[in-house]
Amino acid sequence: MFSEKFGFCYLETTSEGTFSDSLKDQVQHDIIFSFIRKTRGGGHVSPDLTGYVRHNGGKDFITVEVKNEKLILDDVYQAKMYADLFSAKYGLLISTDPVPSELKKLHIAIHVLDRSVPDCMYLAQCSNLGLIEPTSWFPVDPLGVGKPEHLVQHLIVQKVVYKRGDRTLGYSDSGSVTLLNAGIDDVEITAYKLDDRERTVLGSPMRISPGSQQDFHVFLDRGFRKNKPHNLLLWTKRDVCLKLAILFTSYS
């Protein structure tokens, strides 16, 4: 999948602690290999796959840890260690089992997959043939648009209201979308976009606490049509884009 995205992707098997000279030449700090080879119990502890992609003159490292059993928290910290040592933009933890719901809930609660760099760990399920299940990525697809599962599932539209503005006073039409946060994590909305209109940045973020709901107000221009489906794009504080299909039908 990296080759399709970037055109160039180099990966090699490093599970035995052996790294080719060509790969070593790409690593800025070779001191990391000493820490990979030295373990308390002896032997080698290293990523199953290590490599990099090239794009626009730049280079991003990839580390991959593969498990043929249900993922546990220790696996997350092991994979994070490898990703951090290589300063990998793409730290992947793959299992033949589905990503456990308890790990998802733990990340939603305390962001256990986050790292010291802007990127996080990416979990996914693969088949026995090593093929990634595209819909299994958590918290986001590393090469996709970034749409966390907990936001998609738990930010729910409760009500949509259309209000006609007083044209004699120069007031535009407006809409109100009541959003319910049915998850366990705060959601902060920073910007929105209706259909192909320009993105509008809010003066201050709108925070929706778990279990609460708030009315999100949208300004409607003259090209707006009532009783027609519209796409409302919301951006969160982490610049995650959430797409909602809405229909303005009732008046307030």
For the residues 37-44, what does the mean pLDDT come to?
A: 55
Say if residue 243's pLDDT is above 80: no
Asked if residues 70 and 97 have their Cβ atoms less than 8 Å apart, the reply is yes
For the residues 192-217, what does the mean pLDDT come to?
A: 86
- Higher-confidence residue of 132 and 245: namely 132
CA distance 48 to 34: 17
Enumerate domains of the chain plus CATH numbers. 2-144 (no CATH), 151-251 (2.60.40)
Asked if residues 163 and 172 have their Cβ atoms less than 8 Å apart, the reply is no
pLDDT in tens, 69-102: 999 999 999 999 999 989 999 999 999 999 998 9
Asked if residues 67 and 117 have their Cβ atoms less than 8 Å apart, the reply is no
Q: Which pLDDT does position 148 carry in this prediction?
A: 45
Q: Which pLDDT does position 64 carry in this prediction?
A: 95
Q: Element (H or E) spanning 59, and its range?
A: strand 58-67
Strands 250-251 and 155-163: parallel
For the residues 148-175, what does the mean pLDDT come to?
A: 62
Strand, helix or coil for residue 123: strand
pLDDT in tens, 97-106: 999 989 988 8
Asked if residues 10 and 2 have their Cβ atoms less than 8 Å apart, the reply is no
For residue 161, the number of C-alpha atoms closer than 13 Å in the C-beta half-sphere is: 13
- Higher-confidence residue of 14 and 130: namely 14
What count of residues does the chain have?
A: 252
